[in-house]
Amino acid sequence: MKRIVYREWHIPPARYWGILGILVSVMALGGLAALYLEHEGHWVTGMNNFVVWGVPHVFAVFLIVAASGAINVASIATVFGKGAYLPLGRLSGLLAVTLLIGGLLILVLDLGRPDRLLVALTHYNLRSIFAWNIYFYTGFVALVIAYLWSMADRMGARFKHTLGVLAFGWRLALTTATGSIFGFLVARQAFDTAFLAPMFVIMSLAYGLAIFILVLMFTFHQEERVLGDQLLRRLKNLLGVFVAAVLYFTLVYYLTKAYGAKNYDLVGWLLFGGGGYSILLWIGWILIGTLVPLAMFWHPRTRRDRRFIAVACALVILGGLAALYVILIGSQVYPLQIFPGQTILDSGFADGIKVADSTYHPSLPELLLGLGGVAVALFLTAVGVRVLQFLPDSLADAELPADTEEPSAGKVSYVDDLATG
Amino acid sequence: MMKHPDETIDQGRRDWFGLAAAATAAVAAPGVILHLASANTAPEAQPASSAVRWGLLIDTNKCTSGCRDCVDACDRENGLDLQTKPPTEAPTAWADQKAVWVRKVKLADGLTGRVTNLPLMCQHCEHPPCVDVCPTGASFKRADGIVMVDRHICIGCRYCMMACPYQARSFIHQPMHDQLTRVPRGKGCVESCNLCVSRRDHGLPSTACADACTAAGKGAIVFGDLKDPASPISLALKAMPSRQLREDLALNTGVRYKGV
Amino acid sequence: MARALMSNPGRWAGVGLILLGLCWTLAAQVAWAGDAQHFVRPGSKAATLGGCVEATPFMRRNHMELIKHQRDITVHQGIRGARYSLAGCIDCHVSHTADGQAVAINSKQQFCYACHAFAAVKVDCFDCHAAVPRGGPLSAAASGQGATSERDPRGE
Ligand code: SF4
Ligand code: SF4
C-alpha cells in the first residue's frame, strides 16, 4: 500500500500573489464596509426594524452551514471507512475551519456593538440557542484542529478515529443548532418548525461539498496535479444525491407549512405572490441551484466534462445563497400575523400594510461585508494550502486507498505522514 | 423656558453635598470615606418587587382613529422625539428604521368589516421569547414584570427582534446625541416600551400613554398592578372580557385588550 | 476601565501601549495627589464642594467600579438617584458656559475627557448616556408640568 504524500501548493508566485491580492482587496472592501457600518450605524444598510437580519446574515449562515458540510468529506473517510476519501481529509478539515471563521466574522462585524464581543463571551444566557452556538462554533474549530493534527501527526494517529467520530457528531449538533436559531422562532410563521434543523443539515452537506469540490478542482488544476476521474465522479455523484435531498426537504418543508390553513397565505405568498422572493425561490433556488446542476451531473453529455462539473458546483453554491435569502429574509418580510382574520388598514409601524416585497433593499455595504467574509475564508485556505501540507500530491485513481469495511483507525499504511511530504 | 424637576429630586445626594460643604471647605482628606446615614425609604431607593406585576388594559372601543396622543406622549417621555433622520436618508427608509415604542394600528375584520383601533407596544410577556433567545442576557424581565434591555450588555444581534411576536422592538440604527438623562439610548442596541420605568421607580401612578389618553378624554388605557385584586386594572379585567394578542403562544402578556 | 478596554477588541497590538499607559498613569497618580482640584472644572457644582461622594484618591482609582456596580442595580432593580449614579456624577461635574449652558462632560478639556485622554482609556458611557443633564429624572409630564417637548432643553 502506497503512502499518501502531501505537498504544499506550489503554483507560480506571480499567480499565487495575484490570487491573494484579489482576495485581500475583497477583504479590505469588506473591512471598510464593516468600519462604515460601525461608524454610521445600521441606517446605511437596508436592514430595519422589520427585516433585522439581511444579506450579511445570508452569507454568514451560508458559510457556517457550509463549514459543517465541508468536514463531512473527512468524516466519510474516518467514520465510514471510505478509503478513497482519506487523502481529502486534511483539505476538508481546513475548509471547515476557514469557512466557519469567515462566517463568524461576518456575524460579529454586523453586530450593533461589535466592540462588545467580549461581553458575548462572558455573559451567557443558557436558555438561548444563540449562546449555545457560541460554544458549538468555538468547540468545532478546536475539535477540527485537533482532528487535523491527528491526521497529520504520527502521534495523533491513534486518536484519529475518536476525533473523527467526535467531529462528526459535533458538526451534526452544530448544524442542528444553527437551524434551530430559526426553527425556535415561534413568533414567525415561516420559521417555527423543528423541520428547519434537519433541513439545514442536508443543506450543509450539499453546500459544503460543492465548495470542497470547487476548491479541490481549482487547486489541482492550477498546479496540474492529478485528480482521478473516478474520485471526481464519486464526489460529484455524492453531491448530486445531497442536492436532490435538499430538493426533497424543500418540498416537504413547504408541504408541511401548506398543510395548516393558517399558513395558506404564507405559502401562497412565498411561492407565487412574493415578487422577487418567489422569483428567487423558483429561478434561483429550484432551477439554477437544483435542477440545472442535477442535470449537468447526470446528463450523459455533460457528466464527464470537468467544466460542467465545476459550473454545476458553482450553481449549487449560488442556489444555496438564493435559498438562504428566501428562507432568512423572505420569512421576515412576510408580515407577522398578530391579528388573524383582520386586515391592517393603517399602522404607525408598517405592520404588513406595505407591499411586503419592498420592505427590504439590500445595500452595497452589506454585500461587501458578506463577500469580505467569503474572501477571508478563501484567503485562509489559500495561505493554509501554501504553507502547510494539506493537499495530496496526487489523487490519481490508482493511488487511492481502497475502501475498508472497518474504519481505518490504526492502520499504519494509511497514516498520512508529514515527514514523507 | 423649560423648567426641569431635576433640581428637586435626588435628595440624598444633595443632602450629602450640603453636609460635605459645611464640614469642610478644603479638599477631603485622602482615605476618609464619608457615609450617608439613614435607610432611605423613598420609592426610588426600593428595588423592584415581585409582589407587583405591572400591566396595561386597552379598551379598543374607546380608542379612536387618527388620535396619536399616546404615541406622542411616549415619544416625549422617552426622548424619542429627539431622534433625527440622518440627513441623506430617504424618509421612507427612516420610517422603518427609527425607534417606535408604541404604534397605532387600525384593523378591519376580514368577515364583518368592523374597524378597530388600538395602540400596540411591548406586551411585557410573562414568558418573553425575547428574553429566552438573548445570548447575553441583556434582554431581561424585572421582578415587577417589566421586560427591558440592559443596554450595557446588549451586543445588538437583534435576535430578540426576530423572536418577538409583536414586532415590539426597535434597533437604534444611527448615532445618538440628544438623549434624555432618564432614558439613555445609543446606536447599536435594541430597545422597547419599558412601561415608563423611571416613573415606576419613582413610585408614580401611571404611564405617559395612559395619562395622555385620559387627558384626551378617551380613557382607553388603564395602567396598574395585575397582582393587586383591588387595582382599577384588575377590577376592569374582572368585569369585562378581554384577551391577549396571540394567546395561542401562551406568553401570558401583561398588556390586555378589550374588543379585538 | 476593564470595560473600556474591552470595547477595543482587535487592538491587541496596542496592549503593550496600554500597559505602558497604565504604568504612566500609576506614576502620574503620585503627581496628582497634590493637585486635587485640577480636573474639576470651574463652573461646575463640584468646584464649589469640598469633596466627591468618596475621597478623591479613591474616586480616581475606583469610580468606574462604583458606577458599574450602580448601573446593574439601577437597571435590574430600579434603584435610582443613588449615591453612585452616573447621572449624579454628570450633574455635579458638568461645567457651564458664561451664559449658563451645560458643556458636554466628555468634550475636550471637560471633566471626563481630561483624565481619560491622559490615561488613554476610552469612555463609552456617552454613546448612550446624555453628556449634560437633560430632562431630569422624571418627565415634565410626569411631574405635572404639562406635556411640552424636551427638544433642546438647554435652550430657551
Ligand atoms: S412583547 Fe416582545 S419585546 Fe415585549 S416581552 Fe414579549 S417578546 Fe419581549
Ligand atoms: S439585540 Fe441585545 S437584547 Fe436583543 S437579543 Fe441581542 S444582545 Fe439580547
How is chain A split into domains, by residue range? 2-340+348-399
Mean residue pLDDT across chain B: 87
- Predicted confidence band at C34 (pLDDT cuts at 50, 70, 90)? very low
Residue in C closest to A41 by C-alpha: C127
On whether the CB atoms of residues A326 and A250 are closer than 8 A, the answer is no
Backbone region of residue B217 per phi and psi (left: phi > 0; alpha: psi in -120 to 50; beta: other values):
left
- Predicted confidence band at A235 (pLDDT cuts at 50, 70, 90)? very high
SS3 B257: strand
Question: What pairing do the DSSP bridges indicate for beta strands B139-141 and B147-149?
Answer: antiparallel
Integer Cα distance of C108 and A151 in angstroms: 58
- Among all chains, which residue has been given the C-alpha cell 450617608? B36
Q: What is the dihedral of CA C135, C138, C140, C145, to 10 degrees?
A: -140
Model pLDDT, residue C149 = 43
Provide ipTM, 2 decimals: 0.90
Atom number of ligand 2 nearest to Cα B139: 3
B191 forms beta bridges with: B170
Q: Using CB atoms, which chains have 3+ pairs under 8 A with B?
A: A, C
Name which of A3-7, A165-169, A375-379, B143-147 the model is least confident about.
A3-7
Find the CATH number of the domain harbouring B127. 3.30.70.20
Integer Cα distance of C106 and C131 in angstroms: 7
What's the gap in Å between A64 CA and the centre of ligand 1? Answer: 29
Integer Cα distance of C147 and B75 in angstroms: 11
On whether the CB atoms of residues C59 and C51 are closer than 8 A, the answer is no
Mutate to test the pocket of ligand 2, among B149, B161, B172, B194 (most ligand atoms within 8 A of CB): B149
The x, y and z cell numbers of residue A45, run together, are 444598510
pLDDT tens for A185-211 read 999 989 988 899 999 999 999 999 999
Model pLDDT, residue B67 = 95
- CATH fold, domain A2-340+348-399, is Formate dehydrogenase/DMSO reductase fold (1.20.1630)
* Structural domains of chain B, count: 1
The x, y and z cell numbers of residue A215, run together, are 476548491
- Predicted confidence band at C124 (pLDDT cuts at 50, 70, 90)? confident
pLDDT tens for A32-88 read 999 999 999 999 999 999 999 999 999 999 999 999 999 999 999 999 989 899 999
pLDDT tens for B211-233 read 999 999 999 999 999 999 999 99
What's the gap in Å between A118 CA and the centre of ligand 1? Answer: 26
What's the gap in Å between B129 CA and the centre of ligand 1? Answer: 7
- Predicted confidence band at B7 (pLDDT cuts at 50, 70, 90)? very low
> Which stretches of chain B are assigned E, i.e. beta strand?
54-59, 102-109, 115-121, 139-141, 147-149, 170-171, 190-191, 221-225, 255-258
Model pLDDT, residue A274 = 85
- Predicted confidence band at C140 (pLDDT cuts at 50, 70, 90)? confident
Chain-chain contact of A48 with B93 (C-beta, under 8 angstroms): yes
Q: How many CB atoms lie within 10 A of CB C14?
A: 14
Residue in A closest to C10 by C-alpha: A115
Min Cα distance A252 → chain C (Å) is 44
Min Cα distance C9 → chain A (Å) is 6
Chain-chain contact of A112 with B116 (C-beta, under 8 angstroms): no
Q: Give the best residue of A128, A182, A191 to mutate against chain B (max B CB count within 10 A).
A: A128
Give whole-number Cα distances, A12 to A5, A220, A224, A382, C6, in Å. 21, 13, 12, 13, 43
Closest-CA residue to B200 (of B77, B96, B115): B77
Integer Cα distance of A183 and A173 in angstroms: 14
Those residues with Cβ within 8 angstroms of residue A60's Cβ, 6 or more apart along the chain or in another chain? A103, A104, A106, A107, A110, A370, A373
Cα within 13 Å of Cα(A13), Cβ side: 0
Model pLDDT, residue C26 = 52
Q: What is the dihedral of CA C123, C108, C53, C90, to 10 degrees?
A: -80
Q: Is residue C124 less than 8 Å (CB to CB) from chain A?
A: yes
Integer Cα distance of B14 and B18 in angstroms: 6
Tell me the mean pLDDT in the region A237-264. Answer: 93
Closest-CA residue to A111 (of B190, B167, B139): B190
Q: Whose CA is nearest to atom 6 of ligand 2?
A: B157
Give whole-number Cα distances, A193 to A136, B119, B204, in Å. 21, 30, 43
> Which stretches of A275-410 are assigned E, i.e. beta strand?
342-347, 391-392
Atom number of ligand 2 nearest to Cα A112: 1
Model pLDDT, residue A120 = 85
What residues make up the domain containing B217? Answer: 54-258
Residue B210 burial class via C-beta count within 10 angstroms: exposed 0-12, middle 13-18, buried 19 and up: buried
Tell me the mean pLDDT in the region B111-131. Answer: 96
Chain-chain contact of A130 with B159 (C-beta, under 8 angstroms): yes
Integer Cα distance of B254 and B244 in angstroms: 8
Residue B11 pLDDT greater than 60, yes or no: no
Mutate to test the pocket of ligand 1, among B56, B101, B103, B125 (most ligand atoms within 8 A of CB): B125
Chain-chain contact of A43 with B134 (C-beta, under 8 angstroms): no
- Predicted confidence band at C24 (pLDDT cuts at 50, 70, 90)? low
Chain-chain contact of B135 with A117 (C-beta, under 8 angstroms): no
The one-letter code for the residue type at C138 is L
Q: Which parts of A299-363 fold into alpha helices (H)?
A: 306-325, 331-333
How many CB pairs below 8 Å do chains B and C form together?
207
- Predicted confidence band at A357 (pLDDT cuts at 50, 70, 90)? low
Q: How many residues does chain B have?
A: 260
On whether the CB atoms of residues B54 and B233 are closer than 8 A, the answer is no
Q: Which helix (H) or strand (E) holds C96?
A: strand C95-96
Residue B176 pLDDT greater than 70, yes or no: yes
Chain-chain contact of A112 with B162 (C-beta, under 8 angstroms): no
Alpha-carbon dihedral sign for residues A113, A114, A117, A120: positive
Chain B residues close to A190, C-beta within 8 Å: none
Integer Cα distance of A98 and A109 in angstroms: 16
pLDDT tens for A99-130 read 999 999 999 999 999 999 988 888 899 999 99
- Predicted confidence band at A345 (pLDDT cuts at 50, 70, 90)? confident
pTM: 0.87
